[in-house]
Structure formats: C-alpha cells, structure tokens
Amino acid sequence: MKKTAIDQLGFLIHDTGRLLRRHFEKRGQEYGLSSAQWRLLVRVVREQNPTQARLAELMEIEPISVSRLIDRMEQGGWVRRCAHETDRRVNRVVPTDKSLSAYSAIKAVAADVYEEAMAGVDEDMRAALISALTLMVGNLSSDETATTPPNVEQQAAS
Amino acid sequence: MKKTAIDQLGFLIHDTGRLLRRHFEKRGQEYGLSSAQWRLLVRVVREQNPTQARLAELMEIEPISVSRLIDRMEQGGWVRRCAHETDRRVNRVVPTDKSLSAYSAIKAVAADVYEEAMAGVDEDMRAALISALTLMVGNLSSDETATTPPNVEQQAAS
DNA sequence: CTTGTTTAATAAGCATGCTTATAATATATG
DNA sequence: CATATATTATAAGCATGCTTATTAAACAAG
C-alpha cells in the first residue's frame, strides 16, 4: 500500500537533501563555498545588505548560527560586516566583489545540480513535487501550535 | 515560468527536511531520541543486530559518524555493542528492551508528524512526491561520476 | 538621568555530519 | 610463518545547526 511509502517519507526527504548538498558541495568546492554559505549569500545579494538578525529570520536559523557562518565567510572573503548608519548594535552584511563576480557562475552550478537530480522527472511530476513541498513547508511552519488540523488519518504503529 | 520554481528546489527540500526534523524532535523529545538516533534505531531493529559498518552503509553516512551516534545511544540505553561471534574487530549493535518497548510509540509519532506535514496534499500529489524523490535519490546516488548526460537513467552502481 | 526592557550580536558547549589518520584484527600471498 | 593488504572501529578536528546565557546598545518610563 501507499502507507509503507509514507513511512519512508522522512527518510526520502532526508536523503534527497543530503545528496543534493553533497553534490552541490562537490561541484562548488572549487569556489570554496559550502551549501550553507551559498544559501546565505543568495539572501545577502537579494536583500541588499541585510542585518544578521534579518538573515536569521529569512533563513529560519538562529542568530548565533548566522554569526558563525559569517565569521567563516568573512574569513573567506565572501562578505564584510559593515557598521549600521545609525544603530551601533547592528552589522550590515555586504557581499564583496569576489562574491558578486562568482555569483552567476555558482548559480549556474546549482541549477545544473538540480537538473541532474531531476533527470527523468517529467514536468507534471516536477510541478507536483514543488507544490507538495511548498504545502508541507506551510503546514510545518504555520502550525507551531496545532497538532492535527482537518482530514488526518493518523495511523498508529503498524 | 517553472524555472524560478526549480531555482528554489534546493531551498524547499532543505527547509522541508529541517522542519520535519524539528517537529519530530519536538514531539519525540520525551523519549530522548534525536532524529538521527531514530533513523539508526529503525535500521538496527529491521536488520537484526547489524554491525557498525553495515549501518554506515545502510544510512550512507561514514563509519565514524555511526560510531559517535552509537556512543550516545549506548549512553542513553538504546543500544548495546556486542562482540561478534567470530570476528573480534566487529561490534554488533543490539537494541535494548527499552528500545523495543518504545519502538512502536515512536513510530506512531513519526507517522503523525508525516500526516501533519502532508495535510492538504492529496493522494496523487503524495504519489508524485514520493516518485519524484525516489527518482532524485536514484539520480544522485548512482552517477557519482557523470555530470549531465541529458536525460539520464543510468543506474550504474547501486 | 536612572532604571528596566528589548534587541543585536556573540560566547560556550552539545549533536551530527564530514575528512583524514590510526589501531587492531583478518585475510591473502610469498 | 611473515609480510602486505583489507576491513572495522575509533580519534582528532572542522562545519553547521541547536540551546542557553551574556554583552552592548537602544528605547521606554519613572
């Protein structure tokens, strides 16, 4: 039945994520950017010099994780911490020239990895995949409180 | 177009995995099992006392990661390392009574988290999701070497 | 102005993954 | 038997996430 497949959903998503990360890092390692660093850089470029707190919010990770990611990225010459104009508590995170010039190349690598991963997955299935994942992120983000909304068929242990 | 959605695939899968893990750990923390420990325990029970090397192979993580996971699980009373009958290099990993009695309860928690995540995702979409992820895992596991032969379906190594 | 609260960033320490290296044991070969 | 190679587990050290606690600055209220 499908039930057995659902049991493996967590494993599947975990594995897919791990494999994507692994491939991206292998392909992107000539640039010296890890996948976490790449995710952060995308936000920095898109948001135009966000603060660390803003990055934590966008990436849904803790501020301390951002802080340490940026430690390493600053060391690697990818971003700089710049003082905020008015608020002396705040750092703006600014991409370096190195980041800006590598950006499109690395973006192409990412797109390439995605296409490699999606070989043999037709358009309909891609659309369904993305819709399903988007729904799931919504379900899991929103109801930090609720437990079991509308039509759940929860299965006990099998 | 769809291209923009594909760009976000990595982010989506990453987020979904992170959120699933977070929910599972919140719900399962009364048992004191993390999600990595849970994944390992499932293998241990299914495989009937596998060796650490076998676990590393099954979970596709490094032997050293297994070793340290088991360090903590042994401390937590979830598994024991038992000497192999003939090969003195080898440890068999054996679930404790505590594991066996908690197993179905935790399995139910996992199933519950999956259902919560999948609320509003209909049967067709679930099937497509699982098929797509399975294909992706295949693509990313098999071709550790190739780069992007157009629409590949090579299943070289397993 | 002083006191208290909130916010931004960091520190300390843990879990889980990784890579690279080592120790102990098994096995294969001269 | 002795030596070379495999395999199993572990060690050391790093990256990235977490929780909890701290520091510095901003802001609000008396």
Q: CATH number, domain at A22?
A: 1.10.10.10
Contact B139 A123 (CB under 8 A): no
SS3 assignment, position B32: coil
Q: Does residue B108 sit within a domain?
A: yes
- B10 domain residue, yes or no: no
Asked if residue A123 is part of any domain, the answer here is: no
Range of the domain at B81: 16-119
- Would A5 be classed as within a structural domain? no
Which is more confidently placed, A8 or A67? A67
Query: Residues 57 to 86 of B: which have CB under 8 A from any A CB?
Result: 60
- Of A58-62, A119-123, B3-7, the one with minimum mean pLDDT is B3-7
How does residue B149 score in pLDDT terms, banded at 50, 70 and 90?
very low
User: Using a CB-CB distance cutoff of 8 angstroms, which residues of chain A are in contact with residue B105?
Assistant: 157
Q: Is B47 in CB contact (< 8 Å) with chain A?
A: no
CA distance A123 to chain B (A): 9
List Cβ neighbours of B105 (8 Å cut-off, separation of 6 or more). Answer: A157, B31
Is residue B104 a part of any domain in this protein? yes
> Residue B96: which pLDDT band, with cuts at 50, 70 and 90?
very high
The answer to whether position B115 is within a domain reads yes
C-alpha span between B4 and B36 (Å, rounded)? 32
- The answer to whether residue A3 is domain-embedded is no
Q: Identify which of A4, A65, A82, A150 has the alpha carbon closest to the alpha carbon of residue B118.
A: A150
B141 versus A85: the higher-pLDDT residue is A85
In a domain, B52, yes or no: yes
Whole-number Å distance between alpha carbons of A5 and A7: 5
Burial class of residue B3 (count of CB atoms within 10 Å of its CB; 0-12, 13-18, 19+): exposed
Q: Could you give the number of structural domains in chain B?
A: 1
- Inform me whether the pLDDT recorded for A31 exceeds 70: yes
- pLDDT greater than 80 at residue B64: yes
Question: Over 90: is that where the pLDDT of A95 sits?
Answer: yes
Report whether pLDDT(B67) > 90. yes
Å from the A4 CA to the D4 C1': 48
Q: Is the CB of A118 less than 8 angstroms away from the CB of B9?
A: yes
